[in-house]
Amino acid sequence: MTPTLWRRLLAEFTGTALLVTAVVGSGIMAATLSPADVGLQLLENSIATAFALGALILIFGPVSGAHFNPVVSAADWFLGRRAGTGLTARDLGGYVAAQVMGAIAGSVLANLMFDLAAIGFSGKDRTAGHLWLGEVIATAGLILLIFALARSGRAVVAPAAVGAYIGAAYWFTSSTSFANPAVTVGRAFSDTFAGIAPTSVPGFVVAQFVGLAVGVGLLAALYPDAGDAADQVVVPTDGDATINHRS
């Protein structure tokens, strides 16, 4: 049976909170342990994020699909409308709210764990066209990966595949691959290595939704019936694993 909506929303809130805690917390730890080497800091941050994401998908995927990401949830709703699969509009609203609140809670938790002020708005400016382009590429690739796995019946490898993609995208995108509006908002609440200035958030979020449109367009061309598998990105059916999003 499909878990009740409140269980799914709790899973999305908790999973997104723990994801942001991992991103922000590992960034703080990396800056503390390797203060003179930004490249090493990014390596440490990306490895921790990739491993945490894979583990969180395994934990919460059977309950909510472990989206942790409004663009993944929006794609699931959009692609599944015609086939009658995936999230409903009501579910989508609940998922997005849970994800954003969870992301903020995760940032606050990471700050407190490292003895910082619970809320410290980031001063790290990330406003530039090449960074927005990086977000478009990172988000489009993420959407393609998730729904291609669902459509081809390979959802079982999603925890490793999604974690690997996000870990790699830290390095091959200029923006270090936020690829997630909720996580972007959450990271604005921590003035640390992984932070983003609140004034930079709108540009990143717009770029992520452009990436969503690009990813959905490519899916329509490559996998015209991808919407038929949208339920595999929500809850498991017939014993199959479900899949997520990130970062």
CB 126 within 8 A of CB 204: yes
What pLDDT score does 246 carry? 45
What is the three-class DSSP state of 112?
A: helix
Parts of the chain with a pLDDT under 50: 1, 235-247
Distances (CA, A) of 24 to 10, 19, 123: 21, 9, 14
Distances (CA, A) of 133 to 67, 162, 200, 203, 212: 23, 20, 14, 10, 13
Q: Which amino acid does the sequence have at 148?
A: A
Please, is 123 exposed, middle or buried when counting C-beta atoms within 10 Å of its C-beta (0-12, 13-18, 19+)?
Answer: exposed
Cβ within 8 Å of residue 225, ≥6 positions away = 83, 151
DSSP 46-64: HHHHHHHHHHHHHHHHHHH
What pLDDT score does 247 carry? 47
What pLDDT score does 117 carry? 97
* Host H or E run for residue 192: none
Phi then psi for residue 116, to 5 deg, are: -110, 170
What pLDDT score does 169 carry? 97
User: How many contiguous H segments (helices) and E segments (strands) does the chain have?
Assistant: 8, 0
